[in-house]
Amino acid sequence: MYKAVIIGGSAGSFQVVTRILHALPPTFPLPVLLCLHRLKHVRSGFVQALSIKSKLPVIEPYDKEQIKPGRAYLAPANYHMFIELANRFALSTEEPMNHSRPAIDLSFMTAAHAYRHKLIGIILSGANKDGAFGLKKVHDHGGITIVQDPFECEVKTMTETALKLTEVNYVFKTSQIIDFLLKIK
Amino acid sequence: MDRVELGIVDTRNIIKVLNDVYRYDFSNYALTSLRRGFENVITRASLRDVDALIHRLRNDETFFPEFLSHFLIKSTEMFRDPSLWRVLKNDFLPEQLKKHSSFKIWHPNVIAGHELYSLMIILREAGLTDRTQVFTSGICSECIDQLKEGTFGRKVFEVSAENYIRYQGTSDFAQYAWIEGEMARRDHQLLDNVQFIEQGKMFEGAPRNVNLIIFRNNLIYYNQTLQDRVLEIMHDSLSVNGHLILGVMEAITGAVAKKFSLIHESESIYKKKQ
């Protein structure tokens, strides 16, 4: 019934994402969309680092690339990653938002617009407020909202800001996020 | 975040007025960016809502240049993807100039001029300014006036200065651009050898026999239909064995793909097939 999982994170989220990608089976029925803050001038290396433990192929999508289940897509450096209605990515060089390009808010907002109530949005550890507004949009469209337990986060700012803005469905530790995702059929 | 959020119907209504009044066809633009571009116009032109924008477009044609300058994305920076500019200066251009006595470069859809200034700097540093002809064109006259004048944002200046170091320029970035009060300014004499040419709505009047087209991060704002159409135009404009540079995450797909070969994967440099 769901169409996609979208995950946003910044400082302290790398290990969490790695654990999630390691736990999801290659047959995972949804696409996993990752919008993680990253250095804008470092284009390569991140996908490779995430791929080491991932059972899903990790891909930086080209503009207008089709979104397919069972793959993890990482927002490329120095582009915003939008989700279009036709189940494709669209990239943008629009100005940074929350000092970030890619901005988590923009990926979440456009995914919420495209997938409505069939989206699962997850905000992880991070040091700025990016993602909070986007997660609210997921909630407003009827999607499932999950925030990593701030007590488990290396940096709490991102999750705490998200929790202030939205009455989320779940506050989960990493292991609970994984359990939740593994139950998705 | 207090910006207007447009729905599909709003977006279609704006597309319609732009087509009715100005004969500009935005129907094949990528939808999300198009919608956000329209939202930006409403915010930046201090309009109340979508109806105010439509009313203004329908009744005040003098507003159109301002519309374009708010709508178009102009927020990249100089020397974006520093390694591309290094490859151009150290390898690609010197090799090409061995084969050609004159070398025509076209930079279509100029907006903020960051790529244009970067190009002129690398040509100067490679000592190739006199051996190349640079043409540029765009649809936004206000943008062109501003880039010729030379001022740009401070934040963009800072990122550009960092990029210049990563590109490994042979000079000091301060020689080309500097802070001036709240803004930054570029040496507009860098553009002395640039020929600004007219650009039609669908690139009518494109120069012919062009050796190199620099067209990065434009296709991302088009849907597949318009991407194909524009790539055909670029193909026609290129000389035999001419090259096209796209943004690093742009790819040529669809029917036109067979007319180009990718010769430099990480920097997205394509060559026209004969």
Q: Determine, yes or no, domain membership for B3.
A: no
**Residues of chain B above pLDDT 70, percent:** 99
For residue B75, the chain A residues in CB contact (below 8 A) are: 93-96
- CA B103 from centroid of its chain's CA atoms: 20
pLDDT of residue A82: 98
> Which of the following is catalytic: A54, A107, A130, A139?
A130
Range of the domain at B120: 82-272
Residue extents of the structural domains in chain A: 1-90+102-129
Residues B107 and B53 in one domain: no
Note if A105 is an active site residue: no
pLDDT score of B57 more than 70: yes
**pLDDT, tens only, B64-86:** 999 999 999 876 899 999 999 99
A140 touching B, CB under 8 A? no
Residues B181 and B230 in one domain: yes
pLDDT score of A42 more than 90: no
The whole-chain average pLDDT of chain B stands at 95
**pLDDT, tens only, A99-120:** 999 999 999 999 999 999 999 9
Q: Determine, yes or no, domain membership for B161.
A: yes
A66 DSSP 8-state letter: B
Residues B47 and B99 in one domain: no
CA atoms within 13 A on the CB side of B29: 24
Residues B100 and B67 in one domain: no
- CA nearest B74 in A: which residue? A94
- CA A114 from centroid of its chain's CA atoms: 15
The structural domain count of chain B equals 2
Rounded to the nearest angstrom, the minimum Cα separation between B21 and chain A is: 27
User: Which of B22, B48, B71 finishes a domain?
Assistant: B71
A/B interface, count of CB pairs below 8 Å:
71
Cβ–Cβ under 8 Å, residues B225 and B254: no
The answer to whether the complex's ipTM is over 0.85 is yes
**Taken in order A31, A36, A40, A41, is the CA torsion positive or negative?**
negative
pLDDT score of B52 more than 90: yes
pLDDT score of B60 more than 80: yes
Note if A149 is an active site residue: no
Residues B138 and B202 in one domain: yes
Separation CA A134–CA A9 (nearest Å): 12
pLDDT of residue B1: 47
pLDDT score of A40 more than 90: no
- CA nearest B165 in A: which residue? A41
CATH architecture of A1-90+102-129: 3-Layer(aba) Sandwich (3.40)
pLDDT of residue A41: 82
**pLDDT, tens only, B1-15:** 467 889 899 999 999
> Which of the following is catalytic: A13, A37, A100, A105?
A37
Please judge whether B82 and A41 are an interchain contact, meaning their C-beta atoms are less than 8 angstroms apart. Answer: yes
Please give the C-alpha separations between residue B196 and each of A77, A92, B110, B119, in angstroms, as whole numbers: 32, 26, 10, 15
Q: Determine, yes or no, domain membership for B238.
A: yes
Note if A113 is an active site residue: no
Report residue A167 as tokens.
């009455």
User: Which of B30, B45, B71 finishes a domain?
Assistant: B71
Residues B263 and B139 in one domain: yes
What phi-psi label fits residue A172: left (phi over 0), alpha (psi between -120 and 50 degrees) or beta? Answer: beta
- Rg (Cα) of chain B, in Å, rounded? 19
Tally the residues of chain A: 185
**pLDDT, tens only, B198-254:** 999 899 989 999 999 999 999 999 999 999 999 999 999 999 999 999 999 999 998
- How many degrees, rounded to 5, is the angle at CA B248 between CA A128 and CA B34? 70
pLDDT score of B274 more than 90: no
Residues B49 and B169 in one domain: no
Report residue B56 as tokens.
């203004």
Q: Determine, yes or no, domain membership for B76.
A: no
